[in-house]
Amino acid sequence: MPAHRIPFLSPALSAATLLGSWFSVASLAGEVSGLPSHLPPTVRPDYLYFLGNDFAAAGTSDDFRTEQMMVSARFRDAWLAVLDHSILTREDLAEGERARIDTMTFSLGYEFFLSDGAAGRTSMAAGLAVRGIGNFEGERIQNGFHRLVASDTDAIPYTDTRETDPAAWFIADHYRRLAGASGSGFWRSWDAGLWLRAGAFASAAGQTDAVAGIYAVASRGAIDLWLGARRDWRSGYDDDFVLEDTAREEDKYAVSFGARVGALVVETVQRIDSAASYGQLSFVSSPETRRRVHETPARADGQLSLQLPQVTFQAVVRWHHRLFTPQNSNLGEAVFAEIRGGQPQLGRNPALFVDTVQVSLGSEWSRPVSDKVGWLRLYANVGAGWRREQLLGRDVRRGQESESVDRAVLVAESGIEVDAAALAKHLSLRLRLGVTGWLPTSDATVSIGGTSEVIQRADASIVAGWVLAYH
């Protein structure tokens, strides 16, 4: 039976609807920052990690919306929360003219209409947002990623623009199933449908964004493929030349091709009038992807994570075994071993990087948020180990390095873990998002190129991870 939901709208949501605005992650040089991800309505994600970058570009440099990260969540079935971080750069200019700016957007919305049936799905959502423009560690994050892959780093100054503005958004998706699978052959085993998407965003500063697209969708089991055209509009970004250039780059027609396989989403967006393109890599957890997730507890798992803004990787293995909790406890327990490494930038100094290695052992505890929502768990862990840091010079300090310093370290982490998809008979994919902190036994002052700097400081980072669990 089709389901319909049109509850009473609060005054705030009514205002958002009248403003007709929207906030997502988009196309060309990047998505409109702040709204739910660009996904066909065949999937209705509860949680999503999104990474957009010029890595899928066919002919552009690392420029304009050079990197975009988003985390989104659905709660109480209809409420939506999105946190978007975008790094905008103009690095293809002359040495003294290059510049960068970051945007950070948090939006909260409500899906006020949902029609879901065998013929298709239609949804509409609206909400409010806050967008900040300024220095949100984008240089640190970008350069940290570059060091992870042994790429060159960039010393690009920020413009002077600093703004925080309220905004409102609106988004509508419609999927119509046009033909169902009619046989067992390859082509006859696919469903075919049409996907329409439109949205708008407006800020109190006069910045407006809009997007509209039409796509053909083919679906088969846990696979979705889509191909279509979209049009993006941008205006009101003339207060900052990096914002203005990025808006001009994104105000175009484009062709989009995407694919979802289980919890993994890959999409590339190609501008029609040039070789410029953009790509996204996302992981989702939704009722559709969790249908065959194992209900038995995991015996062991392995995890790969990224930490931000101090960009390091984190590799973890866990053995699920009880040491401190009784067998009838509703807490899950595991012993873990981990290694972290990378060369994050030292604060906001693009000429100094901290070559970092850390290993530790510890214990972890987790529990479902409720008996009815076993696929969403809270977790916390503590451990101890060893950490080594050494300063390395780049850019104007290339070739300089300090002595390395070793310290014992305490570590702790907490956050949420969600089931994403079953991968095989005994394997499943999970997503993690949390905050991790480390406390060396003491800091250290080191010398590099005739100056003194402090390393081995206590600090914390956001951690986003992918967990492969064995059941």
pLDDT tens for 173-229 read 999 999 877 766 666 679 899 999 999 999 999 999 999 999 999 998 889 999 999
Q: Which of 153-162, 226-235, 266-275, 300-309 is the least confident region?
A: 266-275
175-180 long-range contacts, Cβ below 8 Å, gap at least 24? 175/40, 175/41, 175/42, 175/120, 175/121, 175/122, 175/217, 176/119, 176/120, 177/118, 177/119, 177/120
Condensed to tens digits (0 to 9), the pLDDT of residues 362-376 reads 999 999 998 888 899
Asked whether residue 1 carries a pLDDT value surpassing 50, the answer given is no
Phi, then psi, of 323 in degrees rounded to 5: -115, -35
Report pLDDT for 20. Answer: 30
Q: Which residue has better confidence, 206 or 279?
A: 206
Strands (E), 91-162: 99-117, 120-134
* Tokens read off for 355: 């070559």
Residue with tokens 């971080």: 85
Asked whether residue 108 carries a pLDDT value surpassing 60, the answer given is yes
Report pLDDT for 114. Answer: 95
Residue with tokens 């906001």: 348
Asked whether residue 18 carries a pLDDT value surpassing 60, the answer given is no
CB-CB neighbours of 265 under 10 Å: 24
Residue from 231, 51, 216, 228 nearest 142 by CA: 51
Residue with tokens 């990047």: 30
Tell me the DSSP string of 256-295: EEEEEETTEEEEEEEESSSS-EEEEEEEEE-TTTTTT---
Report pLDDT for 32. Answer: 86
Complete domains list, the chain, with CATH: 3-285 (2.40.128), 300-470 (2.40.160.20)
Mean predicted confidence (pLDDT) in 442-471? 95
Residue 421 and residue 429 in contact, taking contact as beta carbons nearer than 8 Å: yes
pTM of the model as a whole:
0.87
The rounded percent of the chain whose pLDDT value lies above 70 is 90
Average pLDDT, the chain: 87
